[in-house]
Structure 1
Amino acid sequence: MKYKIEWTYKLKGKEGVYFTSDWMDAELAILGGEDIEKSGKARELTFYDEMGQSWSLKEMKKLTVEIEEDPHEVMVYFDGGFNISTYQAGLGAVIYFRQGKKKFRLRANELIDEMDSNNEAEYAALYYALNLLEELGVHQVPCDFKGDSQGVLKQLEGEWPCYEENLNRWLDRIEEKIKSLGLKPRYQSIPRSENKEADKLATQALEGKEIFSKMQLI
């Protein structure tokens, strides 16, 4: 999660000048807020997070202690593969996140039946990734979703319409899950060459190779 500071700089005999900082990590934001407060020239010093919530300096210090062990800085890669002869889909997801001072990567896949198309497999893969986030305890944070299916991502952003009823049902499920987790989604379409890890997991699922691996990154 990123934070910014907003405050008014007091000028003698004048109304004061309003300032806002760039987005920064919590630790740096607190250090900056402390320096600004020590100057004795600031009033109405407030911290804002990317979810739109506001905090005082005291609340901010308490908050960082409380959320230290919650997953944050979450980035999700997803991909779906489809076997037209069996109507099965392989779902692959790679999730990078921080917890405390450590960084982790989760790699997982799943094989599901009764799919109609590769497009549906892509939606199912994203929904599968959201279920993994729920199991990790990810909630109330911004989250980056990256995939090579531009159609899925543009439809989730509301830029492209979706006319297929079964895909609209997936859209509804995905949006409801995002809402229930309190996520702030940021979608990015990437080339297939940058999504190789999730693509491989989807392929392995179709081959009957089940994978679930969580590791700390050094």
Structure 2
Amino acid sequence: MDFQLRWTYKSHGRNLDFQSAFTNGKEALLIAEDLLKTGRLKEITFVDEMDQSWTLKEMKKLLQEVKEQPHYVKAYFDGGFDLSTKKAGVGAVIYYRQNGKNYRLRSSTSFDELDSNNEAEYAAFHYAVKQLEELGVHHLPVTFLGDSKVVLKQLAGEWPCYEESFNRWLDRIEEALKDLHIKPTYTHIARKENEEADTLAAQAMHGKEISSTYEIE
């Protein structure tokens, strides 16, 4: 999680307000400590990407807690549908940092009740959110990446959705994100950049489901 510093600095009898660019929590604390050494710091606040404010004491406690929880999360998703068998598969690949180490979670499952490849894409996004919930991701910004431009644009509110069945998926996704207090960023990527999630979805569609977590060196 990144933070912005906002502080009041006393100079020549005047109080001046400043704010920084966003930076990681560790660096934000180091900057705050440097400002304190000047003896001119009147007040300092840390504001995270969710627009929540923290005092210096709260910030130190938060960073210790965050270190033990998943953060810097990126979630890739993809869905597929086999018209001949009426089987759908979805895949999710989640990259995150926890306790100073980087991890990759790979997961997939199949569906029998979906009707099209488009619906599989919505189901895949919802599945990725549920994986985040199981991982313990909450009150954090998360970047979602996929090659389904329609799903991402509709979730971002940039494109309308006229299909009732797809709207139901959008409602489920938005409710799940709200429950977890996740601040989403939607990023459309080329299919070749989404190969891992695509492979997981294809394997699940043909009966091979995956669930694994690896530490990334």
Q: Is the pair's TM-score, using the shorter chain for normalization, greater than 0.5?
A: yes
Counterpart of 1:169 in structure 2 is 168
Do residues 9 (structure 1) and 9 (structure 2) align? Answer: yes
Structure 1: distance between partners of 2:58 and 2:39? 19
After TM superposition, the score normalised by the length of structure 1 is 0.97
Counterpart of 1:210 in structure 2 is 209
Structure 2: distance between partners of 1:163 and 1:49? 36
Structure 2: distance between partners of 1:59 and 1:135? 26
Deviations 1:5-28 (A, max 9, x none): 0112212233x3221111111111
State the 1:186 CA deviation: 0.4
Structure 1: distance between partners of 2:92 and 2:66? 25
State the 1:87 CA deviation: 2.2
Deviations 1:6-53 (A, max 9, x none): 112212233x32211111111111111111112112222111000111
Deviations 1:60-79 (A, max 9, x none): 11111122211110000000
Structure 1: distance between partners of 2:125 and 2:202? 15
The amino acid that maps onto 1:196 is E
Structure 2: distance between partners of 1:110 and 1:66? 32
Counterpart of 1:56 in structure 2 is 55
Instruction: Give matches, 1:137-148, under 5 Å.
Output: 137-148=136-147
Instruction: Give matches, 1:180-199, under 5 Å.
Output: 180-199=179-198
Counterpart of 2:151 in structure 1 is 152
State the 1:86 CA deviation: 2.4
Q: How many residues align?
A: 217
Counterpart of 1:68 in structure 2 is 67
Structure 2: distance between partners of 1:50 and 1:161? 27
Structure 2: distance between partners of 1:86 and 1:180? 35
Structure 2: distance between partners of 1:63 and 1:173? 30
SS for the counterpart of 1:62 is helix
5+ residue gaps, structure 1: none
Structure 2: distance between partners of 1:133 and 1:171? 17
- Runs of 4+ that moved beyond 3 A: none
After TM superposition, the score normalised by the length of structure 2 is 0.97
5+ residue gaps, structure 2: none
Counterpart of 2:17 in structure 1 is 18
Counterpart of 2:122 in structure 1 is 123
Counterpart of 1:201 in structure 2 is 200
Deviations 1:92-135 (A, max 9, x none): 11000011101100011101012111110000001111111111
The amino acid that maps onto 2:174 is E
Deviations 1:187-210 (A, max 9, x none): 000000100000000111112111
Give the stretch that moved more between structures: 61-70 or 115-124. Answer: 61-70
Structure 1: distance between partners of 2:178 and 2:83? 32
Structure 1: distance between partners of 2:85 and 2:167? 23
Counterpart of 1:82 in structure 2 is 81
